[in-house]
Amino acid sequence: MRIEVIRPEELGEAELRRWRGFQASTPTLANPFLSPEFTLAVGRFRAGARVAVLSDGDGVAGFFPYERHALGIGRPIGAGLTDCQGVIAPSDLEFDVRALLRACRLSVWEFDHLLAEQAAFAPYHAEIRVEPVMDLREGFAAYAEGARLRAPKTIKTVRYKERKLGREAGEVTYTFDETDPAELRRLMVWKSAQYRRTGRTDRFAESWIVALAEHLHATGTGVLSVLRAGDRPISAHLGLRTGTVMAGWFPAYDTEFAKYSPGMIGHLRMAEAAAEAGVTQIAMGRGGREYKDWLKNGEFPIAEGRAARASAAAGLHWVKGAPVRRARSAVLAHPALYARADRVLKTYARLRGMRTGDAA
């Protein structure tokens, strides 16, 4: 196996066709976070973005997109923003993980949303969980009927709130693919406020993430959907799409309309519009949010862990990160712990807001 490491923008047209061919021939690789478009976009804004091109006697055998940080610490491309990671290659490709790390000049490669089916990394799995999906292959009507059977009270309540919203705020309309960049800026304002309100790190305080979202939206890989009532935007969602697969990414809403559950209304509208547009699956990302339990009608396994070579940097990385990873895994694996942690973060955010005079 030959391994050449290049920057994303150095990929040639033949290599990009090969990459897309791997995605088309292996359904589990079809996720937009594994697309060359996502890697190319991240490469525009992240100096450490790289792609290892694996080749054998038959030509290019696979691609390994990653980011290299100080001391040879490696993370998936777009780390912290991606819900699907791995090598883009046929499922039966065999390779030496440590040789791959050596070629990439990595002491460690840590992952948290790795396709668990990728056998080469199996010895490095610390934990396996599942990522929920909305399977739309049978069309929206079939999906909606399944959702009604799984959670009849929930979907009945959402439909009631949508009708109530229409009566009290104006006709409810939905745009699946909104091209106006002003609506994307509105979404980012809402999302930043949500991060602060719930005690999370504000992703959109990072200029490169703002630029990445704007670039993906402008180039069409990012699909911005907007729910309106009486022509007023009340919720929005920026997802990624390649082919027939979408990945949920950044949902947010106007808190003035919170009593109507605009996020839930928006997700059902998104599923309906996506199915009409030829989308057969929406990957919702891992997490303890209860709404995903009744929206999902499928799932796929993902793994968290780290692959490492023997080095001082790898040892230091393990010592520093192991307790945090164990705590995060415990919280994500138990809904009660997740809910408790969520309440603690929200309380902290409120107290911090009181001290700084920011009640958002």
| Structure-token pair, residue 51 | 């792609």
Euclidean distance between CA atoms 274 and 140, whole angstroms: 9
The amino acid sitting at 353 is: G
What 3-state DSSP class applies to 139? Answer: coil
With a cut of 70, say whether residue 192 has pLDDT above it.
yes
**DSSP sequence for 75-86:** EETTTTT-S-B-
Tens-place pLDDT, residues 200-221: 999 999 999 999 999 999 999 9
Residue 344 or residue 188, greater confidence: 188
Q: How far is C-alpha 269 from the chain's CA centre?
A: 20
Q: Percentage of residues in the chain with pLDDT exceeding 90?
A: 80
Euclidean distance between CA atoms 263 and 60, whole angstroms: 43
Euclidean distance between CA atoms 31 and 246, whole angstroms: 7
- Give pLDDT, residue 290: 77
- Residues forming a β-bridge with 133: 283, 298
Short-list 116, 102, 98, 105, CA closest to 307 = 98
Confidence band, pLDDT 50/70/90 cuts, at residue 238: very high
Confidence band, pLDDT 50/70/90 cuts, at residue 293: confident
Euclidean distance between CA atoms 70 and 52, whole angstroms: 18
- Give pLDDT, residue 211: 98
Euclidean distance between CA atoms 49 and 35, whole angstroms: 14
- Give pLDDT, residue 32: 98
**Interval 250-268 mean pLDDT:** 96
CB 233 within 8 A of CB 189: no
Short-list 116, 78, 147, CA closest to 297 = 147
Instruction: Return the biggest CA–CA distance within the chain.
Output: 66
With a cut of 80, say whether residue 161 has pLDDT above it.
yes
Euclidean distance between CA atoms 65 and 70, whole angstroms: 17
- Give pLDDT, residue 21: 97
Q: Percentage of residues in the chain with pLDDT exceeding 70?
A: 85
CB 246 within 8 A of CB 281: yes
Average pLDDT score, the chain: 89
| Structure-token pair, residue 219 | 């180039």
- Give pLDDT, residue 299: 95
With a cut of 70, say whether residue 347 has pLDDT above it.
no
Tens-place pLDDT, residues 320-337: 555 554 545 544 555 544
CB 237 within 8 A of CB 225: yes
Give φ, ψ of 208 to 5 degrees: -70, -30
Whether the model pTM is above 0.85: yes
